[in-house]
Structure 1
């Protein structure tokens, strides 16, 4: 048995990487750590000495995981995907890795037990997933293949597609989708219980809706808007999005693979790149792309503001505002660090993300985020004019080239590799746990 301090100091042996030996060493280290954690009380009940012992053991195992993925990411990915012939989504890939490479990522039972606990009572096993996905996404071959896999339609969308193409409507729960006679797919976020704050459920519904809009040949343009709220403060008014659901975060309901990575690599990236359908010859167009319009009522906070950065045209009511309070929440605001800096400049991005600056729709700086501002009573008509302008036959090709120039796929892949780990670390940091705890019992 290899002592933890020896593993940390030396790491995998020198010379050519040996997958079998490194695999065995990783499994042994993970088994030792698991045995220690089993002997200790639950995380919230440990003494300072017990917390320190757990941290030392987990850090040693994680150092091995990181080095293992640095050495073997492509071999691991090829084994899990049969030489990149299977397209596994992030959650499927993590489940397969847990079975094929014991100790590399947490297994299904461990994750289920972890996700049943409040955030502050977790061990932080999703950090191990973050190490794994960082290694995969760093690889030009494995990372590009995973990104491609995440741009494919979800099984849920494919199952719902026949009914949607026939009826033009789909009620997905937290998102309603309607295709109107003018070729517009109208996505309405309708979580009136939480002002459209996102959680795993809404990410699933949003990706399904985006897939359906992109798959339906009768749809020419997508439109996203918040629905009418029943919340006491905004009763009877539309609201775009309050960002991440902090109540769900406190309760342990925000997952790395089902929310944070799926959201960025799934429906948001599909809005940017389109959908890999296999319908068009690959030489002609790699994906089914369509233009997208967003209309902001009341506010776009956090994740809501992140969404605006990928839309082709953004309108807002004159009393709306946009903010990215990432530093206050203690997490990384998705791909906003990449996209906001590209779109509005690094100084502006730092003011919004690091300082938490709130930008009102009528401010001059709002033009960096919003294309049109209208009085609330005039917004509906302005939205209709905007979607009509984006129905031109050359729009899709030009937005494809604009997005390629603004955000090359490799730049996005490199960003997401580091995001996978940094966001996992942030989820289990002391400041996030403290801030999320303040939302216990709140309605939103």
Structure 2
């Protein structure tokens, strides 16, 4: 990108600014601001300059308003108009220039950047396109209700990139590469066969790597730390040649209501969401493209190399569900090859009741249950118990609690078979072609970001949950 734009550093609130007296500032009253955005289409450099000026002007107008919690209705409406105008221009910019932006950030696709590094590079290289690190740090310190919603701009960026037939596949490949953390731990895991990663324990037992989720105080509710540990454990499973099968199971809880009882997952940590600690890039996008993506499509050992006979390392996966798999926990089951549940277990996707989107479940669940049943589960929050006849659509085997260990051992023995892996590859390709996944995730990026900052979601997560609702138990004890 070239041009004579000089952008000052962010102010104390993390807002970027342009030089004084800039003729492209578009200053206006906040009540009417944004009605005349600059035209795009002159070329990458010119359009990037126009976007930077317009975004900086938007920041100046936002700065005339009180902080989010102190705004009245008129001021909230004015902020919404300013943000909407700037986001519309960002969306048009990335729609015009997705491939050129991606090539600029990755050296014409010679470098594979993970989504967090890509977002940081975009903030540096294209001012105004996505929030700066200072802006994100400032928002990270706020409760969800008090944020400006800057992560929505990251959603706009990733929708544009994932829609691209050239940038999209390269980006998803970048997220299938092993993490630096896993590579650093690999020799130790191969030697010892056991690593405590923090909230995930990985142990090699015979042919299987057993991944035990141990976010014990909040019923294995998902947060940034769990996603990081889970991706590391998935990488180690796929990189260790002594392992042929992966097993996912929840550990014993320390939460008072479930102390000593195994729980698979309570889904997204609603306390962290309410307090603003759930990251859009490092949690919501990373879990789909990182750990779940690798379980589904395998790990890419070497970037840019078409290894024979397969470019990714895949292994079959077994899920052992004790007690319940709610939200993100049930989403995980949809990509596993065999699901075993205890007789008292149940499954649910309450995301619509919370106002958000249940990851990639809207793409995957209809394939398993049919469209009508999927709508009941996703749109109305219908709970499926392990003993319901329809449970067979999401669960392969139901056993007594004391029979789970034996059932898992038998499943591992059955899946420790090269023919199982070969057929798994072909099933996965038929069920979810890469381009279909990318198209879905592109729209998910914007839709979920908007949902997280919508008034109805803010109101829902602020309200106490009904007594007896397991989702009330995702708070730390």
TM-score tier after normalising by the smaller chain length: over 0.9
Q: Is it true that 1:135 corresponds to 2:160 in the alignment? A: yes
Equivalents in 1 of 2:425, 2:367: separation in Å?
A: 16
- Deviations for 1:117-137, whole angstroms, at most 9, x for unmatched residues? 110010000000011100000
Shift of the alpha carbon at 1:6?
A: 9.1
Equivalents in 2 of 1:168, 1:39: separation in Å?
A: 58
Match of 2:18 in 1: none
Q: Is it true that 1:195 corresponds to 2:228 in the alignment? A: no
Could you tell me whether the CA contact under 8 Å between 1:7 and 1:64 is conserved in 2? no
Equivalents in 2 of 1:9, 1:133: separation in Å?
A: 25
Equivalents in 1 of 2:442, 2:184: separation in Å?
A: 31
Shift of the alpha carbon at 1:20?
A: 1.5
2:246 equivalent among 205, 210, 222: 222
Could you tell me whether the CA contact under 8 Å between 2:34 and 2:82 is conserved in 1? no
Equivalents in 2 of 1:303, 1:324: separation in Å?
A: 8
Q: How many residues align?
A: 441
Match of 2:451 in 1: 426
Match of 2:189 in 1: 164
- Deviations for 1:324-362, whole angstroms, at most 9, x for unmatched residues? 001111110000000001221111110000010000001
- Deviations for 1:81-126, whole angstroms, at most 9, x for unmatched residues? 0000111011110000000000000011110110111100100000
1:360 equivalent among 385, 394, 408: 385
2:93 equivalent among 68, 73, 78: 68
Q: Is it true that 1:111 corresponds to 2:136 in the alignment? A: yes
- Deviations for 1:238-261, whole angstroms, at most 9, x for unmatched residues? 000000000000110101100000
Equivalents in 2 of 1:364, 1:309: separation in Å?
A: 18
33-42 or 129-138: which moved more?
A: 33-42
Match of 1:231 in 2: 255
Q: Secondary structure at the residue paired with 1:233?
A: helix
Q: Pairwise CA RMSD of aligned residues?
A: 1.7
Equivalents in 1 of 2:59, 2:368: separation in Å?
A: 45
1:272 equivalent among 288, 291, 296: 296
Match of 1:178 in 2: 203
Equivalents in 2 of 1:51, 1:246: separation in Å?
A: 25
TM-score by length of 1: 0.96
Could you tell me whether the CA contact under 8 Å between 1:12 and 1:67 is conserved in 2? no
- Deviations for 1:48-81, whole angstroms, at most 9, x for unmatched residues? 2221211111111111000001100000000000
Could you tell me whether the CA contact under 8 Å between 2:144 and 2:458 is conserved in 1? yes
Match of 2:267 in 1: 243
Q: Secondary structure at the residue paired with 1:146?
A: helix
364-373 or 281-290: which moved more?
A: 281-290
**For 1:312-391, what aligned pairs fall within 5 Å after superposition?**
312-391=337-416
193-202 or 44-53: which moved more?
A: 44-53
* Structure 2 unaligned spans of 5+: 1-23, 465-471
Q: Secondary structure at the residue paired with 2:166?
A: helix
Q: Secondary structure at the residue paired with 1:140?
A: coil
Could you tell me whether the CA contact under 8 Å between 1:169 and 1:177 is conserved in 2? yes
117-126 or 339-348: which moved more?
A: 339-348
Could you tell me whether the CA contact under 8 Å between 2:203 and 2:211 is conserved in 1? yes
Shift of the alpha carbon at 1:278?
A: 2.4
Match of 1:261 in 2: 285
Q: Is it true that 1:436 corresponds to 2:461 in the alignment? A: yes
Match of 1:294 in 2: 319
Q: Secondary structure at the residue paired with 2:88?
A: helix
Match of 1:252 in 2: 276
Shift of the alpha carbon at 1:443?
A: 2.9
* Structure 1 unaligned spans of 5+: none
Equivalents in 1 of 2:222, 2:475: separation in Å?
A: 15
Residues 115, 10 of structure 1: alpha-carbon distance in 2 compared, 3 angstrom cutoff? closer
Equivalents in 2 of 1:342, 1:410: separation in Å?
A: 17
Equivalents in 1 of 2:59, 2:36: separation in Å?
A: 20
Match of 2:53 in 1: 28
Could you tell me whether the CA contact under 8 Å between 2:212 and 2:249 is conserved in 1? yes
TM-score by length of 2: 0.90
Could you tell me whether the CA contact under 8 Å between 2:38 and 2:50 is conserved in 1? no
Match of 2:81 in 1: 56
